[in-house]
């Protein structure tokens, strides 16, 4: 345990040096080490590698979630979310010709959770005013509106305290 704490301190000090450096070579060194680490992780622990790649993928998005984060949110949603099977949800989108992501606004997991959030919060109200066939389209469009919020107020990570 003491060795782990010492390694953590040593890494954090090196990271701070790199983060505060104006020397591009310092950043390249960290990048090269990260590439080595990921190559090892992909070969030996692909599940962990996938999760870290998803976290790094965040640089492309205004609203994003990793698959693990999305699944945790959906498992705790009350009332239960209707589209908890991501593959079935994705297939329903593709059948209707909808995209699952739009750079730089949202990634697939952010859309998946937002659509489920709307249904969890408002499905009874929606069913009072529109027929079942139109609900999926409306919920999709409302989710996209939230995720592409022009004033940037909606932030899925803040909304779900991530």
> What pTM value is reported for the model?
0.82
**pLDDT tens-digit readout, 30-69:** 999 999 999 999 999 999 999 889 889 889 999 999 999 9
For residue range 132-155, list pLDDT tens digits in order: 879 999 999 999 999 999 888 999
Per-residue pLDDT at 136: 94
Largest Cα–Cα distance of the chain, in whole Å?
A: 62
Beta carbons of 105 and 62 less than 8 angstroms apart:
yes
pLDDT of residue 73: 97
Go through the chain and tell me how many residues it has.
162
Percentage above 70 pLDDT, the chain: 100
Question: So what's the pLDDT on residue 55?
Answer: 86
Please classify residue 28 by burial: count the beta carbons closer than 10 Å to its beta carbon, then call 0-12 exposed, 13-18 middle and 19+ buried: exposed
């Amino acid at each position: 345990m003491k060795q782990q704490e010492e390694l953590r301190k040593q890494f954090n000090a090196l990271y701070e040096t790199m983060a505060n450096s104006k020397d591009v070579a310092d950043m390249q060194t960290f990048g090269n080490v990260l590439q080595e680490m990921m190559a090892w992780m992909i070969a030996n622990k692909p599940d962990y590698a996938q999760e870290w790649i998803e976290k790094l993928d965040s640089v492309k998005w205004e609203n994003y979630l990793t698959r693990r984060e999305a699944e945790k949110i959906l498992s705790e949603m009350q009332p239960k979310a209707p589209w908890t099977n991501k593959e079935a949800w994705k297939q329903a989108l593709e059948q209707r010709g909808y995209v699952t992501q739009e750079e730089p606004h949202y990634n697939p997991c952010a859309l998946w959770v937002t659509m489920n959030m709307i249904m969890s919060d408002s499905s009874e109200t929606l069913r009072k005013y529109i027929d079942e066939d139109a609900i999926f389209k409306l919920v999709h469009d409302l989710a996209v509106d939230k995720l592409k919020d022009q004033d940037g107020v909606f932030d899925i990570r803040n909304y779900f305290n991530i």
